[in-house]
Amino acid sequence: MAKLIIFLFLTLIPILCNSFTPDKPSDRRILVLLDDFAIKSSHSLYFKSLQSRGFDLDFKLADDPKIALQRYGQYLYDALVLFSPTIERFGGSIDAAAILAFVDSGHDLIVAAGSNASDLIREIATECGVDFDEDYGAVVVDHAGYAVSATEGDHTLIASDDFIKSDVILGSKKIEAPVLFQGIAHSLNPSNSLVLKVLSASPTAFSANPKSKLTSPPSLLGSSISLVSVIQARNNARILISGSLSMFSNRFFNSGVQKAGSPTKHDKSGNEQFLTEVSKWVFHERGHLKAVNVQHHKVGETNEPSIYRINDDLEYSVEIYEWSGTTWEPYVADDVQVQFYMMSPYVLKTLSNDNKGRYFTSFKVPDVYGVFQFKVEYDRLGYTSLSLAKQIPVRPFKHNEYERFIPAAYPYYGAAFSMMAGFFVFSAVHLYNK
């Protein structure tokens, strides 16, 4: 029986593993947890855009007792979408810890909260570095940047066009229309280097409970409020956290938008483009780099040596590719640098590339011996961080690699040999000339 299980397991491994491999970083199987199945239809446009890109969505109620992220130590999904802002307790084996472990093992996550976000959702967000407004009734209000609509309302539906300036996250096509947002605010710790504001509120926004009178100044206000944030963890797992679930809805996707004070009225809000592009980034269809084929060798040779000598001339090359969603495309940039590093960089060179993904340079090993590293630390906004380190020792000259005769020493050679000759003559004279 045990053998059979092992056999099954071994045959299943390739099937289980082909879902998320370094070769194909895009996610395939996505678990969507919903508060109720009505969301499935009310947000169908968003789900459809995912499905049309080849994702396999598995809709479950968040309190379904049968849901599980992993079975037998294997994750069943590559990504998780939490469209269940009100859930207090997940069904099955899922809890906040399981979700965070899911992220820490390299999987992606989309969390949409709302004005009624539960403690559980807030806790997950906090663990990822996003702090929702602690005032439970507070939502984002903007009396200057609200979306013009038929009813005047309380200005909680806001139109924001303060996007992050990154083609990698938002795509190369400019998002013309503002994005409609209705939900809660969150703030980010400025010292947190992993989290990014993708959509910020305007300077006139603030977070308060619109139903009650404002007695004290709101704790969150202005552009420090983040509406939508993304996190790229150190293991390159990507997380999207939005303060509003409704911005994903068909209604927001399709409605026209006019920002207060702006003369232009757009027929269609920017939500669809914005969220689709961001989801492409979150699900690793964009901005995912890999570096392969690190090579270094002495100039004029091809084999990689196990050790260099000081003042050797060497060539270094690495190939960097970006995942396009279907294939690995050459990554082209002019700011990739290599360090020849031993406690501090001794050599820092910008790599040139051949537009086919190969980056290369050549330099002289410094006149210092020790254990060096070829280090490529490439952290660019939106891209996965590349961190390559390859250890290589550098030795001093061998005892027979020094020059045997140096011109400056000829007087000494002369002195030594004339001394020897003189001694010989002296001895001869002294001994045989009585």
Partner 1 sequence: MAATDAQTSLRHAFGNVLAFFILILIGVLAFSIRLFSVIKYESVIHEFDPYFNYRVTQFLTKNGIYDFWNWFDDRTWYPLGRVIGGTVYPGLTLTAGTLWWVLNSLNIPLSVETVCVFTAPIFSAFASWATYLLTKEVKGAGAGLTAAVLLAMVPSYISRSVAGSYDNEAVAIFALIFTFYLYIKTLNTGSLFYATLNSIAYFYMVCSWGGYTFIINLIPMHVLLCIVTGRYSSRLYIAYAPLVVLGTLLAALVPVVGFNAVMTSEHFASFLVFILIHVVALVYYIKGILSPKMFKVAVTLVVSGGLAVGFAMIAVLVAMVAASPTMGWSGRSLSLLDPTYASKYIPIIASVSEHQPPTWPSYFMDINVLAFLVPAGIIACFSPLSDASSFVILYIVTSVYFSGVMVRLMLVLAPAACILSGIALSQAFDVFTRSIKLQLPSLSVDSHVNAGDASSESVVPDDTVKTDKTEDTHKERTSKKSKKKEKEPVEKPPSKSQIKKRLLVLPLETSIIAIVLLVLLGAFYVVHSVWAAAEAYSAPSIVLTSHSHDGLHVFDDFREAYAWLSHNTEVDDKVASWWDYGYQTTAMANRTVIVDNNTWNNTHIATVGTAMSSPEKAAWEIFNSLDVKYVLVVFGGLVGYPSDDINKFLWMVRIGGGVFPHIKEPDYLRDGQYRIDNMATPTMLNCLMYKLSYYRFVETDGKAYDRVRRTEIGKKYFKLTHFEEVFTTHHWMVRIYKLKPPKNRIRGKTKKTKSKASSKTVSKKQGIKKNPF
In the complex, what is the shortest distance from the CB of residue 181 to partner 1, in angstroms, rounded to a whole number? 20
189 binds partner 1 (CB under 8 A): yes
C-beta closer to partner 1: residue 402 or 405? 402
Region 126-145 residues binding partner 1, contact defined as CB under 8 A: 126-132, 134
In the complex, what is the shortest distance from the CB of residue 199 to partner 1, in angstroms, rounded to a whole number? 18
Q: Do the bridges between strand 29-34 and strand 79-83 make them parallel or antiparallel, or are there none, so unpaired?
A: parallel
- Tokens 């910008």 correspond to 350
In the complex, what is the shortest distance from the CB of residue 187 to partner 1, in angstroms, rounded to a whole number? 8
- Which residues have C-beta within 8 Å of that of residue 219, sequence separation ≥ 6? 133, 134, 135, 207
C-alpha span between 419 and 431 (Å, rounded): 18
The per-residue DSSP string of 194-236 comes to SEEEEEEPPTTEEEE-TTS---S--SSBGGG-EEEEEEE-TT-
193 binds partner 1 (CB under 8 A): yes
Q: What x-and-dash track marks residues 333-372 binding partner 1 by CB under 8 A?
A: ---------xx-------------------------xxxx
Give the residue, chosen from 13, 17, 97, 381, that forms a contact with partner 1 under the rule CB under 8 A. 97
C-alpha span between 321 and 26 (Å, rounded): 14
In the complex, what is the shortest distance from the CB of residue 399 to partner 1, in angstroms, rounded to a whole number? 6
- Give me 305's structure tokens: 């040596």
| CA-closest candidate to residue 372, choices 348, 398, 391, 389 | 391
C-beta closer to partner 1: residue 260 or 294? 294
- Segment lying near partner 1 (by CB under 8 A), choices 119-127, 135-143, 313-321, 408-416: 119-127
100 binds partner 1 (CB under 8 A): yes
Write 236-239 long-range contacts (CB < 8 A, 24+).
236/106, 236/288, 236/384, 236/385, 237/103, 237/104, 237/105, 237/106, 237/107, 237/108, 237/109, 238/108, 238/109, 238/281, 238/282, 238/283, 238/284, 239/103, 239/108, 239/109, 239/110, 239/111, 239/128, 239/282
* Residue 323 β-bridge partners: 288, 328
C-beta closer to partner 1: residue 310 or 332? 310
C-alpha span between 392 and 150 (Å, rounded): 68
C-beta closer to partner 1: residue 391 or 418? 391
In the complex, what is the shortest distance from the CB of residue 130 to partner 1, in angstroms, rounded to a whole number? 6
377 binds partner 1 (CB under 8 A): no
In the complex, what is the shortest distance from the CB of residue 349 to partner 1, in angstroms, rounded to a whole number? 20
In the complex, what is the shortest distance from the CB of residue 422 to partner 1, in angstroms, rounded to a whole number? 16
Q: Which helix (H) or strand (E) holds 124?
A: helix 119-127
C-alpha span between 86 and 102 (Å, rounded): 21
307 binds partner 1 (CB under 8 A): yes
- Give me 323's structure tokens: 């995942």
In the complex, what is the shortest distance from the CB of residue 385 to partner 1, in angstroms, rounded to a whole number? 12
Region 233-272 residues binding partner 1, contact defined as CB under 8 A: 233-235, 237
C-beta closer to partner 1: residue 130 or 221? 130
C-beta closer to partner 1: residue 59 or 341? 341
Give the residue, chosen from 125, 201, 351, 376, that forms a contact with partner 1 under the rule CB under 8 A. 125
CA angle 99, 102, 104 (to 5 degrees): 115
**Residues near partner 1, by CB under 8 A:** 95-97, 100-101, 103-105, 119, 122-123, 125-132, 134, 188-189, 192-195, 231, 233-235, 237, 307, 342-343, 369-373, 391, 393, 395-396, 398-399
